[in-house]
Amino acid sequence: MNKPEEICPRCFIGVLRFDLQAYALVWQQQIIAIPDAPCYTCDICSYREYEDDLVNWVHELIGTAPNDADDPRPRNQPKSHHKA
């Protein structure tokens, strides 16, 4: 899970650091939550990016493509990385 330090795309001040946080999404009016999901969290504004492998795995389990479920990311964020 090590990747080079990356500047936060939200605040442009903080650095994204490896962390374990809950990942949650709504699917068919049900909340799916994964505690202690690997992610990168900004040390200043708490912005979060989840690993693509984790998001893809969750969507494989529920039988949807990542963009087919209710997307937990704010609409103004790019979809190249999974963010919450």
pTM: 0.68
pLDDT tens-digit readout, 29-38: 999 999 999 9
Q: In a 3-state reduction of DSSP, which class is residue 56? A: helix
Is the per-residue pLDDT at 80 higher than 80?
no
Calpha distance 49→75 (Å, rounded): 14
Domains along the chain? 15-73 (3.10.20)
pLDDT for position 74: 43
Q: Do the strands 6-7 and 15-27 form a parallel or antiparallel pair, or are they unpaired? A: antiparallel
Nearest to 58 by CA among 17, 25, 10, 80: 25
H helix or E strand, kind and range, residue 53: helix 52-62
pLDDT tens-digit readout, 2-51: 667 899 999 999 999 999 999 998 988 999 999 999 999 999 999 999 98
